[in-house]
Amino acid sequence: MKDRKAVTVSSEQRVPWLLLMFTLPANQASERVDVWRKLKRYGALSLHTSGSLLPNTAGNLEHFQWLAASVRKHKGEASVAQVQSLDDHSYEELRKLFIEARSRDYEALAKQLRKVLKQKRRSPGELGRFRRRLQETITIDFFNSPMRGRVESLLASADVQHSPGTTVVQSIRLKKEYQNRLWVTRPRPGIDRVSSAWLIRQFIDKNARFVFAAESGQQPNVIAFDMFQKGGFGHVGDDCTFETLCKQFRISDPKVRTIAEMIHDADLGDEKFGRVEAIGIDRILIGWAQQSLSDEELLRRGMELIDGLYRSIT
């Protein structure tokens, strides 16, 4: 393999991928393991016939160039190429593979977090370790896996259980204060946020408007729901946001109570109520999120699904 280095191209050329190809001598087994560990940490996609792939960014280019230099230092050969396309994988196929890889990482974290939520005691630094692992995964989540929100919600629940006095929502006194308002939640809405938006418009604020932001402070004069900052409505104890809204606004509709159990089990996955009806809706939302739909379209479609679920309950 001829030794080559990548050449930076302008953004107008829109070369989407970086490809690392390398070989190492048979006696460099430990170096080979070290390279593969770094590739995993960088979030690289392993292609069976073509090496390892990353989206073309300055940071990823630097990662690959350092790895290539390390391989050459150990008497191996390495090339870093900027690739417009691969003839056996379309852009959308590669994008989907990256999303699936990160979704598996998030699902593994979620499984471990659910175990933590069931524990009565946990070590002081345990949640901090989960936050670090989540942040490491977010860093290599190049195409915004819809499973990220699931882990963030579970971590929020764990935080509330650990410090229950920090995020308890004050009791609702004047419902009129919540009329004709702008409500904000996180991007890429999943089952809890979609159902909460439906609940808000059906039972709390029929003229509610919804916007999306990573932090509630980015939008002035809004009511936050399912955010991680203090204030607004979110997870309280082992309740998901939908359950919190039901309790705070004293919504007594029996069909809504049934849906609350479904949303809880779909969102937190703890099988508290033994309800499976909303799990399918959750998977549909995840699939739609992978299709690059806008946040607004995801919310609209999801609210229609929840409305259909509500009407199906007799």
User: Which residues of the chain are modeled with pLDDT < 50?
Assistant: 1-13, 163-171, 174
Q: What is the pLDDT of residue 81?
A: 94
Phi, psi at residue 104, to the nearest 5°?
-65, -40
Which overall architecture, per CATH, does domain 11-83 show? 2-Layer Sandwich (3.30)
pTM for this prediction:
0.62
Determine the Cα–Cα distance for residues 41 and 285; give it in Å rounded to an integer. 28
The ranges assigned to domains in the chain are 11-83, 91-150, 175-312
Q: How far apart are CA 231 and CA 227, in angstroms?
A: 9
The pLDDT of residue 56: 93
For position 218, what pLDDT does the model report? Answer: 67
Q: How far apart are CA 203 and CA 201, in angstroms?
A: 6
How far apart, in whole angstroms, are the C-alpha atoms of residue 147 and residue 149?
5
- For the stretch 135-151, pLDDT in tens is 899 999 998 888 888 88
Instruction: Report how far residue 24's alpha carbon sits from residue 31's, in angstroms, rounded to the nearest whole number.
Output: 8
Residues 85-138 have pLDDT tens digits of 888 889 989 999 999 999 999 999 988 888 877 777 777 677 888 888 998 999
Query: How far, in Å, CA of 6 to CA of 81, rounded?
Result: 5
Q: What are phi and psi of 17, to 5 degrees?
A: -125, 155
- Please report the pLDDT score of residue 230 as a whole number: 66
Q: Which amino acid is at 267?
A: D
